[in-house]
Amino acid sequence: MFPRLEIGAFSIYFFSIFAALGFASFVLLFVLTLDKKYKVTIDELWKSLVLAFIAIGVGVGGAMLLDATVHSIQNGYFAMAGISWYGMLIAGLLAFSLLHRLFAKKMKFQLSAMQYLNLIAVGMSLGHAFGRIGCFMAGCCFGGPTDSAFGVNFPEGSMADIVHGGQALWPVQLFEAVGLFSMFAFMFVIPFIKIPNKFFEKYCKGVENNSFYIYLIGYSVLRFLLEFMRGDNRGGVLDLSPGQIISLIVIAVIVVPILVYYLVLRLMLRKTGFTEKHNITKNTCVAFSVKIATVVGIIGWLIWNFFIKEKWEARVIKKEILPVQEESMAVEEVVQEGQIESFDNVNKED
């Protein structure tokens, strides 16, 4: 909770330091895993990095766009002033998957899109954890007031201090960082454990082949629970924050098709050979679900921006912003009248 590092005349925000550390750790893990574990060629390594950097750029745009959209719903105006992790996550992963699909044959990638996504998920959990430490140092994404021993007092002038007036707050940023570090350790270490047991070997291989799903479901559950402890109001629906709503959507998009695959397709259609004949796997079911969610999301966003946004913003301004402005103007008039009366009294006494 020290916003800046100052060395003489030199000053840099700790959030920038930890964001850079998270990015560097992701890139380093991405490169080392491709080189040491999968032993890809130098050519594929560079091509993979190019696709990853493009996806990250798209992810940053998605992070700004989602944050601006959420605030336009809450405040009645559209302004890109912040970022949302879910926006970066969803836009970045979709961009990388699409780029891999378009250029896989032309660039002759050795790894499938799912292998890349599993690899990205492990590095993303590590980089994200460092980013949350940066949030703690900056005093953003803070928790609500608490009297417990875990309460933290943020420096005077920080956003947390301004909103909650110096009260002790839940360090939800650190809780989230601990959860992300734990997920990283689980996904990174388990596949390397060698125990001569068929069940354990199958379990380790399952973790390695499903890191992408483990990260998405694990983080969504973690985020959903921690949102109840957050103290920065970002609006929401039915007492759920935007982060919780997106968490539920992510869990549904991933878990529902997996359950359909294992409980319906494999159990009911395995004897007929339907799944083998049509090459239906768990990953294809999830991919189909993601495509539907993406199409619905894009259509919903277009409908919002072209048909609903202006009416909603006008409604918010009329119901929330104008009454506040009128109230403040009334207070100013009362103050001014009071000052005039006091001056009149002084003149009469003189």
CA atoms of 45 and 184, how far apart (whole Å): 22
Residue 107: which of 174, 161, 54 has the closest Cα? Answer: 54
Q: What is the mean pLDDT of each successive set of 10 residues along the chain, which is 350 residues long?
A: 69 86 93 88 89 92 84 67 84 90 82 89 94 89 89 83 85 95 90 67 75 92 92 71 88 87 68 60 79 83 72 64 55 54 43
CA atoms of 285 and 213, how far apart (whole Å): 13
The predicted structure's pLDDT at residue 261: 78
The predicted structure's pLDDT at residue 76: 61
> pTM for the whole thing?
0.79
Measured in degrees and rounded to the nearest 5, phi and psi for residue 145 equal -60, 145
Tokens for 91? 């836009």
